[in-house]
Amino acid sequence: MSYETDTIYHVVCDGCGKGYEPRPYDDGRWFVDQAEADQEAIYDGWTVTGNKTIRHWCPNCCKADKDGELQPTKEALAAYRRRRAEARENKVAAKDPAKAVEMRLNRLMKKGS
């Protein structure tokens, strides 16, 4: 007996970080196919944006624009950018903690202005 490794996908909101939860009568929240994962989430009110970098937005983090297209809210976009910046800072912190602190301070000061 041996093992095989496979990849499965779970959609997570780029705004609030919440994971996709399917309707109770559906199979599950893990998919062997990214497109199927996206499709199920979209069916439940999520939206997917981007071409090169795909982003997912839960129903709480998107709203319809004037054309009826779901778009991420300003708050969701801000949360996404903050998390990305924090991830970059944490990566830098592993090698250069002082530089990471400087990056974080610059970011927070810019936000306050």
- Residues forming contacts to Zn ion in the complex (CB under 5 A) are 13, 15-16, 58, 60-61
- Report residue 85 as tokens: 């910046």
| Cβ–Cβ < 8 Å for 48, 58 | no
CB of 1 to Zn ion, least distance (A): 41
Q: Give whichever of 20 and 31 is closer to Zn ion, judged by the CB atom.
A: 20
CB of 90 to Zn ion, least distance (A): 21
Q: Give whichever of 73 and 93 is closer to Zn ion, judged by the CB atom.
A: 73
CB of 65 to Zn ion, least distance (A): 17
